[in-house]
A and B are shown apart, each in its own frame.
Chain A
Amino acid sequence: MTETLAETPQPEAAVRTGVFRRLLKNPLGLTALIILGIVVLTGIFGPVIAPFDPNKADLVNALAGPGTDGHLLGTDSAGRDVFSRLLVGAQSTLLAAALAAVVALLIGLPTGLLAGYFGGKFDSVASWCTNVLMSLPAIIILLAASAALGRSVWISMTVFGVLMSPGMFRLTRTSVQAVRNELYVDAARVAGLSTASIIGKHILFVVRAPLIIQTSIVCGIAIAIQAALEFLGLGDPLTPTWGVMLNEGFINIYGSPILAVWPGLAISLTVGSFVVLGNALRDALEDAPKFKRTKPIQLTPPRTESVQAVDLAAADHLLSVSRLGVGYPQQGGATKVVVADVSFHVDRGEVLGIVGESGSGKSQTAFSILGLLPDEAEILGGSISFDGIPLVSAGGNRLSQGRLSELRGKRIAYIPQEPMSNLDPNFTIGYQLVRPLTRVLGLSKAEATARALELLTIVGITNPQRTFDAYPHEVSGGMAQRVLIAGAVSCNPDLLIADEPTTALDVTVQAEVLDLLRDLQARFNMGVVLVTHNFGVVADLCDRVVVMQNGRVVESGDVRTILRAPREQYTRTLLGAMLEGKTPMSTLTVTEPAPVFDAPVKVGL
């Protein structure tokens, strides 16, 4: 977290127009907007521009084909003009959809806000009602409603709006719950803002976008449902609507199938446009660019030429990383380099610390060795070799997953940072320990169980059987980290990669885990790569240290040399920022540098 501007400034207004522009750029979204525009215009002007009275029967001219006697789309079985009926039908269709959406919003939004913001009893009751409403098949309820309350599109759309309100309610409630515990809402409460202004100023904003999307989708469904009801004969037979027309067409499907085509097309296009618009809106909001960096660090990363010469030297070391570069291809052809020209080695039984601040590329380096970089990542150059086995494929820009899969979980192991999120919550701890032992190391299930219990004892868990049977959410963070360490060392690895293994833990637990790591390292004579930002942890465990900044190695050497007499200014700055041994309340930084807005952007994820 260096004090530099991470992104180029971009005013909020630009972001919003950006959403609309992205919507227009999306061909599906644009088409949907155009179709809906036409439908809305038809809804407004349809009755005026219709060439015939939509209800005027003319039995002589019944079922006339398209084009006869000025009937653009022909006539139906009563001789009424299909085109005019189609134009007039748009209005009631749109109004009915709007009614359903408004009812759904009027019920869902306020209740969702209240339930999400205040929680408590109201939330439980409202959520229960929502669950009930959601478990009712809409059409069945609409049938019952029309049997009881009469056949009117307005009644059925009001009822349908009620049935759709749970969607709005849930959306609002989850959005509100997500922000109500955000610290900026707490800050507003501390500032003494009233609940109403907190909701108006800080919360409603968050709900807006998802509700617009949902409204579009509800409109689409409402039109489909409304047409379905009219198709079933539950509409008002005197109003020309698309559903009634479709019914009429279906009755004559053998004689004049073309009659069903026009209303079918009108319904499908309108419903489809609403649904597509909703999806396109969602995409436009989600694809909001993550603010392009002002300048990419390096467009053309250096390729390593003399890899073979380095590999010869590598043979003596357990792990040898030479001139490694890792990058992420960006839109527009540039590559964001997160690791550049990094070289180091680890010997058997040696602990190497990689130290750096966030964005220094230390974790990316560790994941490269494991072959667990995200799929988008590219190896830009250099080599990694483990016990003489090259891990970067001959082509150069990918890790050799074939060779790595022979090593991972057998000779190379990994301890992650966050203990809780690194255990699968759906399986017992025992299962997660036993499974790799049987699948990867080929132990029998009984052997694996015995070994897992033994490992749990080794990592200092006092009641191994209980932990073995427990699910991850039933143990503490410190315990979970011990379990992960047990899993890592279960294969007797030659090399252990530990990525900030104690950062998420309390200090007293950290001390215990460090003790454990030291014991295990000595016991199995492992080479260890320890990634950390904490010089105390380095001092506790490491033999040698690599200091990284902005994806590059700043300096490396013996732990005592680096900590006591660093050569590089950056290392001195880092050590100088440590509080241990400083006079309390003294100024820590020599001069307070004014934040520089055009400083080079930071590297890293």
Chain B
Amino acid sequence: MVSFIVRRLISGVVVLFVVSSLTFFMLYFSATSVARNILGESATQAQVHLKEIELGLDQPLFSRYFDWLGGALSGNFGVSWFNSQPVVESIVGRLPTTLSIVLVTIVIAAVLATLFGVAAAVRRGWVDRLLQIVSIGASAIPQFVVAIVLVTVFAIGLQLLPATGYVPLTDNVGGWLASITLPIIALAIGAVASTAQQVRSAVITVLSRDYVRTLRSRGLAPREILFRHVLRGAAPAGLTVLSLQFIGMLGGVVVLEQIFALPGLGFLALQSTTQGDMPVLMGVVVYIVIIVVVVNLLVDLAVGWLNPKARVS
């Protein structure tokens, strides 16, 4: 088990390194006219040149890369090209918004998807058909269209919930909940639908296994077999889908934070993209990859814990 964890950790670090390096070269290779963008059309050539030196754009790409890497390893991702705020500071300030939305959504998705998926697999019949139709419908409508509909109906039309803005959890729990409810619904609909589908088919597969019949022959109650043996057998498939959903959500929040005007990581990502603020964008990518690597590691560990065979391979 220890070597299993170590191998996964090393693999995660390699992924992080490769992705951030590739992103760095892609972003900085093309960052040529940044100085003029920052200073505006009225700036003189000399001013632009000075700015380029200030940003380090006159240095060769590789030496800038090693500078960045050295900084990154010590937790310093540089400062924004536009407002000179340290990158880490602005990211850490925005993480709670994004994480509250994504984490709450994933928990909701896990619970609902398990409930619906198991119900459809065990009951079959109309419950199953209903889940099929609803989940196809739910996964067919793009997330941001759902979000716009939600804003229009619940915020602008019925005025039940705020259309925009974020209230930190530490300020006011009620306000926090109200501010993240609509984004969570928009994210959760698709996630619940596709995860429930996976749970359903995994449970059906495990239910048809020979050992389930043998366990029944041993006199164990159907409930015990379902909750101990079948769910455990089906869990790895569900967890894998959830981790993919989680990754998708980290992208999805970019659009949602725009629609709901939430000051999160996605908002920052979009802002730095439109501005060409490479250090900030770079920082956002690295943070998101770190989150993904950690989540994948946790999922691998969970699968290894659930399934003794996975520990070996």
Contact = CB atoms under 8 A, between A and B. Distances in A.
A297 B250 CA distance: 58
Given A140-B288, A144-B26, A471-B308, 13 more contacts: A135-B292, A135-B293, A136-B292, A139-B266, A143-B269, A227-B144, A275-B140, A421-B209, A424-B215, A425-B309, A426-B307, A435-B220, A440-B218
B141 A145 contact: no
A366 to B, nearest CB: 11
A147 B15 contact: no
A246 B247 CA distance: 25
A244 to B, nearest CB: 14
Interface stretch (A105-113, A339-347, A408-416, A526-534): A408-416
A140 B27 contact: no
A473 B308 contact: yes
B221 A439 contact: yes
Contacts of B145: 246, 264, 267-268
Interface in A252-267: 253-254, 257, 260, 264, 267
A297 B213 CA distance: 28
Nearest to A224: B142
A136 B291 CA distance: 10
A149 B289 contact: no
B27 A231 contact: no
Interface residues of A, number: 69
A413 B244 CA distance: 43
Given A228-B144, A372-B216, A414-B217, A422 B211 contact: yes
Given A132-B18, A135-B15, A246-B148, A421 B210 contact: yes
A99 interface: no
Interface in A385-425: 405, 408-410, 412-414, 416, 418, 421-425
A210 to B, nearest CB: 15
Interface in A532-570: none
A491 interface: yes
Contacts of B281: 143-144, 147
Q: Lowest 10 A-B CB distances belong to which pairs?
A: A409-B219, A272-B140, A139-B251, A137-B251, A414-B217, A224-B142, A440-B219, A436-B218, A137-B250, A421-B210
A409 B27 CA distance: 66
Nearest to B258: A232
B13 interface: no
Interface in B125-184: 133, 136-137, 139-145, 148-149, 151-152, 156
A443 B254 CA distance: 57
Interface in B176-235: 209-211, 213-221, 224, 229, 232-233
Contacts of A209: none
Interface stretch (B59-67, B85-93, B270-278): B270-278
Nearest to B291: A137
Interface in A120-175: 131-132, 134-140, 143-149
8 contacts: A227-B144, A279-B136, A408-B217, A414-B217, A426-B229, A440-B218, A440-B219, A488-B217
A136 B217 contact: no
Contacts of B232: 426
Most buried by A among B31, B144, B255, B276: B144
B140 A144 contact: no
Given A135-B247, A408-B219, A414-B217, A275 B276 contact: no
Nearest to B221: A439
Interface in B73-98: none
A487 interface: yes
A250 B285 contact: no
Nearest to A134: B244
A404 B309 CA distance: 34
Contacts of B105: none
Nearest to B124: A375
A436 B219 CA distance: 7
B259 interface: yes
A355 interface: no
B306 interface: yes
A370 interface: yes
A597 to B, nearest CB: 33
A257 B157 CA distance: 11
A425 B213 contact: no
A22 to B, nearest CB: 16
Interface centre among B211, B269, B289 (most CB of A within 10 A): B211
A137 B270 CA distance: 14
Contacts, number: 191
A409 B220 contact: yes
Nearest to A408: B219
Contact of A271 (B142, B296, B306): B142
Given A139-B251, A372-B217, A439-B220, A228 B307 contact: no
B225 to A, nearest CB: 9
Contacts of A272: 137, 140-141
Contact of B247 (A136, A231, A275): A136
B11 to A, nearest CB: 8
**Overall SS of chain B's interface:** helix
A28 interface: yes
A139 B270 CA distance: 10
A427 interface: yes
Contacts of B278: 147
B284 interface: yes
Given A268-B141, A473-B309, A423 B148 contact: no
A445 to B, nearest CB: 15
A220 interface: yes
A213 B27 CA distance: 35
A318 interface: no
Contacts of B156: 253-254, 257
A237 interface: no
A232 B273 CA distance: 11
Given A372-B213, A471-B309, A491-B219, A271 B269 contact: no
Contacts of B215: 424, 432
Contacts of B151: 253
A436 to B, nearest CB: 4
A452 interface: no
Interface in B6-20: 15, 18-19
A409 B273 contact: no
A391 B221 CA distance: 18
Contacts of A253: 148, 151-152, 156
B100 interface: no
Contacts of A421: 209-211
Nearest to A421: B210
Among A28, A136, A140, A427, chain B packs the most CB atoms within 10 A around the CB of: A140
B27 A370 contact: no
A86 interface: no
B306 A410 contact: no
A276 interface: yes
A329 interface: no
A250 B139 CA distance: 22
B157 to A, nearest CB: 9
A599 to B, nearest CB: 31
A422 B210 contact: yes
B252 interface: yes
Contacts of A131: 15
Interface string B1-45: 000000000000001001100010011011100000000000000
A83 to B, nearest CB: 20
A409 B218 contact: yes
A506 to B, nearest CB: 20
A424 to B, nearest CB: 5
B308 A426 contact: yes
Contact of B27 (A147, A234, A439, A484): A147
A354 B299 CA distance: 48
A149 B23 CA distance: 12
A484 B137 CA distance: 45
Given A275-B136, A426-B233, A136 B19 contact: yes
Contact of A227 (B140, B142, B221): B142
